[in-house]
Amino acid sequence: MIHSRNRRLRVNESMRGLVRECTLTTHDFVMPIFVMEGENKEEPIPSMPGIFRRSIDLTVKECKELFSLGVKSVNLYMKVSDHLKDNTGKEAWNKDGLMQKTIKAIKDAVPEMIVMPDVALDPYSIYGHDGIIENGKIVNDATNEALAQMAVSHAEAGADIVAPSDMMDGRVLVIREALEESGFTDVGILSYAAKYASSFYGPFRSALDSAPKDDMEIPKDKKTYQMDFHNSREALNEVFKDVEEGADIIMIKPGLPYLDIVSKVRESIDVPIAVYNVSGEYAMVKAAAQNGWLDNDKTIIESLTCFKRAGADMIFTYFAKEAAMILNR
C-alpha cells in the first residue's frame, strides 16, 4: 500500500497554488530600454521583435505605460552617434548627454520609477570595447576612473542605481568611493559580477552598434574581461569581491543557460541577486513562437519563473512589458 502520494498536492490549481514554492509578479521585472537621439522617433530592432529604439519623448511615454502595468524599474542603454565616440568615452559623463537627459526626463515624469543606467564604455567607444585601449590592450585602472565619472554623472541626473556591466577588476570600489565623495550615499550599485563572454548577446550589440570592431590592433572579442563560460567557481570569486567592494545587488548574465550559477551564488550570499534574460534568449523564444513551435505566453512565464526558482530576486528581461500584461490578465 502507498502511504505517501505526491500527486495529492497537485490535484487542482488551487492546491498547486497553495503549495507553490515561488511566485512571479510584475515587481520582479526590470525592463531594458534603448534610447536614441531625435524627437518622436521609434526604430524597430529586427533581431528582437517587439523591441524598439526610441527618442527620449517616446521613452518617457513607454515608462509611463510600464509603470501603470506594474513594471517599476528600467535599465537604460544609449545608441550613441558615431561622431561622439572616441577612445576615452568622455561623452559618457557629459552632463548634457543623451543618457543624462533621459534619466532626468524619466524621473521628472515618473518619479517613483527606479532608473538604472548602464555603466560601460562600449556604446561610447570607437572600438566597441568596455574599456579604454592603450597599446592594443584594454587597460583596467584608467577605465575604472572613467566609469566612476560616468556613474557620478548618472547620479547627478537622478539615477537610483548605477549598473556597471564592464567587468573591470576593482571598479565597484572605485565607483562606490566616487559616489560617496560626491555626496551620493543613497545611490546603489548593481554590479554585473558574473558576466560571461557569451554568444547570446548578438541582438543587443546590433541594437546599439556596440560590438568590438574588426581591427587587428585590438582584441577581437571581450574574453579578456568577461568570464569564460566553462567556469563556475570563478563566478563566486567575482561575486564575493564585488560584495566586499560595496555592491548592493549583483548580476548574473546571461540567464537561462546559467541557472546553475544563479543557484550556486544564491546559496553563498545574502545580497539581492539579479539575472539578465538576454537578447539572444528573447530572440529564440520569439522566433520559435512566431513559427508556431512554442506557446508564446506560456513559455515566457515559465522561463521567467525559472529564474525565481533558481534564486533570483529580480529579472532584467525584454519580456517585462509583455509578461506584465499576461500576469495582469
CATH at 288:
3.20.20.70
Q: Residue 1 and residue 31: Cα distance in Å, rounded?
A: 52
Q: Is residue 227 included in any domain, yes or no?
A: yes
Per-residue pLDDT of the chain (329 residues; tens, 9 = 90+): 988 999 999 999 999 999 999 999 999 999 999 999 999 999 999 999 999 999 999 999 999 999 999 999 999 999 999 999 999 999 999 999 999 999 999 999 999 999 999 999 999 999 989 999 999 899 999 999 999 999 999 999 999 999 999 999 999 999 999 999 999 999 999 999 999 999 999 888 777 766 677 665 788 889 999 999 999 999 999 999 999 999 999 999 999 999 999 999 999 999 999 999 999 999 999 999 999 999 999 999 999 999 999 999 999 999 999 999 999 99
Q: Which residues are known binding-site members for Mg(2+)?
A: 238
The pLDDT value given to residue 114:
98
Q: Is residue 118 included in any domain, yes or no?
A: yes
Q: Is residue 73 included in any domain, yes or no?
A: yes
Q: Is residue 18 included in any domain, yes or no?
A: no
Q: Total domain count for the chain?
A: 1
Q: Residue 185 and residue 52: Cα distance in Å, rounded?
A: 34
Q: Which residues are known binding-site members?
A: 238
Q: Is residue 219 included in any domain, yes or no?
A: yes
| Residue 260 belongs to domain spanning | 28-328
Catalytic residues: 195, 253
Q: Is residue 212 included in any domain, yes or no?
A: yes
The pLDDT value given to residue 214:
67
The pLDDT value given to residue 179:
98
The pLDDT value given to residue 219:
83
Q: Is residue 113 included in any domain, yes or no?
A: yes
Distances, alpha carbon 25 to alpha carbons 12, 88, 239, 303, in Å:
21, 40, 26, 13
What are the strands, taking DSSP E only, across the chain?
29-35, 42-44, 52-54, 73-78, 114-119, 132-134, 137-139, 161-164, 188-195, 249-253, 273-277, 314-317
Q: Is residue 13 included in any domain, yes or no?
A: no
